[in-house]
Amino acid sequence: MTTRTLAPPRDEGGARPAAGGPSRLAWLDALRGVAALVVALHHATYDYLPGPRAALLAWFDPGTYGVMVFFLVSGYIVPASLERGGDVRRFWIGRLFRIYPLWLVACGAAVALMAAGLYRERGGPGPAVAVLAHVTMMQDLLAVPSVLNVLWTLSYEMAFYLLVVALFTAGLHRRSAHHALLFAAGALVLGGLPPALLSVRAGVGAVAVGAAALTAAAIVLAARGHRLGGLLGAVPALLLVVLNGRVGAAEGLTILAVMFAGTAVYRIERGELAPRPALLGLGAVLVTALVAAAVHLDAAARSWSLALAAAAATFGLGLLARRLPMPRALVALGVISYSVYLLHPVLLAIFRVLLGGNGPDRPDRGSVPLLLLFTAVLLALSWTTQRYVEAPMQRLGKRLARPGRRASGAAAGRPT
């Protein structure tokens, strides 16, 4: 994808723009670009602007803001990519080739830095369990520390994919506003459950093996057109988010509510949901999520809630401006947003080795020039990996999916 055409990533199911015209999904790229950069700067300011960062965090959490914008965008576009093709096999191939190639690069770089003693190991179970949990991408739902801190969000992305396929297979996928409200209510009612409950009771290894087996079986069976496979995926997704997430059920279920809220917005725009009741339902989702945060998140409730509200407002403003030309810089940033998100912790670790780190205990060394240098190098690195890792592998995924194109589960997914 080039910045001249302002086109969205093709694997996301977006329509191609007319010649010379902006894409109708360029606003989503712009939002992704903002979200990725906010998260990267949130982590980088720990080293280079620790004083202002600490003051801001007392009121507003930029990291939560960025990932919630990401979750809203994923909720909007991911189900569309499944439903537009109507092929579960094609969907999973697209997802795997979209996510795993750069994931392997980032994880490999982190492991290499750990081996060289340049990156802090995050502890956890033995290597076999850690690798298995990471390969499923659900390590944050399996009580296994992520090799890179930012990988935790991919665990909820994977749970969302499994639920989306299950709902599509069951023909229940168009009730997105109801799903969002149900998960928000679950966050309020079940938010007091302790984190990692299953792993504490049954053991980290047993839960990781069981979850991996169920997830693999669900994906393989669903991709082969078996209805059971699609439905089976909902089991590990729901159990792990409710009973085993590191962040707890309140945040985990709110994340799913946010993603399905993004899907509901997509359905409103396509005329599949009546706007007024659906928007009222989405308002109820936000209010319920904020109440759940106030009840269950204690000291973090204020900064977390303001971040969630700001993310919802940002997504709403982007939606209102979707027919306007988007700034080319933001759209270009959105194209490389996945690289920015995954690679910035690795680059930050390298910067700490080469230039020294600060942190909250050394606020006197805050440095705007170093922050700007870090940002410039990160953008250049991300452009490189997007062009030479992400884009080629996405094209390969499309070629592999094309020969087996068929309407797996489409009969269940299409409206009657």
pLDDT band at 119 (very low <50, low <70, confident <90, very high): confident
Percent of the chain with pLDDT over 70: 87
pLDDT band at 365 (very low <50, low <70, confident <90, very high): low
pLDDT band at 401 (very low <50, low <70, confident <90, very high): confident
Whether 411 has a pLDDT exceeding 70, the answer reads no
At 39-68, the pLDDT tens digits run: 999 999 999 999 899 999 989 999 999 999
- Alpha-carbon gap, residue 268 to 320, rounded angstroms: 13
At 260-310, the pLDDT tens digits run: 999 999 999 999 989 889 999 999 999 999 999 999 988 788 999 999 999
pLDDT at 24: 65
pLDDT band at 355 (very low <50, low <70, confident <90, very high): confident
pLDDT band at 7 (very low <50, low <70, confident <90, very high): very low
pTM: 0.89
- Alpha-carbon gap, residue 26 to 8, rounded angstroms: 6
Whether 390 has a pLDDT exceeding 70, the answer reads yes
At 33-43, the pLDDT tens digits run: 999 999 999 99
pLDDT at 362: 53
What is the rounded average pLDDT of the residues 357-363? 53
pLDDT at 46: 92
At 371-388, the pLDDT tens digits run: 999 999 999 999 999 999
Q: What is the chain's mean pLDDT, rounded? A: 87
